[in-house]
Amino acid sequence: MRVALLGGSLRPGSLNAHLLRHLAGQLEARDHGVSVFAGESLRLPLYEDGLAASAEILALHGALLAAQGLVIVSPEYNAGIPGHLKNAVDWLSTLKPSPWPGLPVLLCAASPGAFGGARGLVAWRATLANMGALALPEALTVPHADQQLDAHGAPTDARTASAVPKILDGFLSLAARLRS
Ligand SMILES: Cc1cc2nc3c(=O)[nH]c(=O)nc-3n(C[C@H](O)[C@H](O)[C@H](O)COP(=O)(O)O)c2cc1C
């Protein structure tokens, strides 16, 4: 299966980008192909009516069209979606064909806070539903992520470490049923 992963902030030390790369490694270890969009590849022009999509946006669009599922690993900014990720989503929603309808999505978030970015995922669910994407009901959240992720983004606490394979299994099973 081919899975695209999108997320993290633009800062080099992004906890969400570290977690994203860990999840990408876990998917590769299960023999799935991954397309990773994190860090500088998300420094996209702000969406503007009439502005042509850049090569980076077209690459993201192509990867989502080719993928059987998408993993989003999102920071939470003010209980919502960070601007650079919302901008990427908005660009993608303007391109034809839209990659969103029927796309299986796994939502993940990491935050130094106690809620692990869970409130931002509520905003993600509303946006994804509006575009017709199918978010898995379960989500992966990592609270206190500044202490509970190692340098490679692997969870160090038992709860999250055991949650990762279970949630990946659930997501891959949904994606296989919807997009085999
Ligand atoms: C503008 C802004 C708003 C934030 N709002 C929240 C928030 O609502 N909830 C939360 O848990 N953390 C919030 N944070 C803290 C981020 O979760 C923290 O900076 C996190 O490390 C960002 O993700 P990253 O490590 O991938 O860059 C906010 C940070 C910024 C810069």
Per residue in 37-61, pLDDT tens? 999 999 999 999 999 999 999 999 9
CA of 82 to the centre of ligand 1 (A): 9
Query: With the C-alpha atoms ordered 82, 101, 66, 95, is the resulting torsion angle positive or negative?
Result: negative
Which protein residue's CA is at the shortest distance from atom 2 of ligand 1? Answer: 77
- Which is nearest to 167 in space by CA: 124, 137, 127? 137
**Tell me: domain 2-179, CATH 3.40.50.720, correct?**
no
* Rounded percentage of the chain residues whose pLDDT exceeds 70: 100
57-113 pLDDT, tens digit each: 999 999 999 999 999 999 999 999 999 999 999 999 999 999 999 999 999 999 999
What average pLDDT does the chain have? 97
CA angle 92, 94, 99 (to 5 degrees): 45
Query: Is the predicted pLDDT of residue 155 greater than 80, yes or no?
Result: yes
User: Can you give the residue ranges of every domain in the chain?
Assistant: 2-179
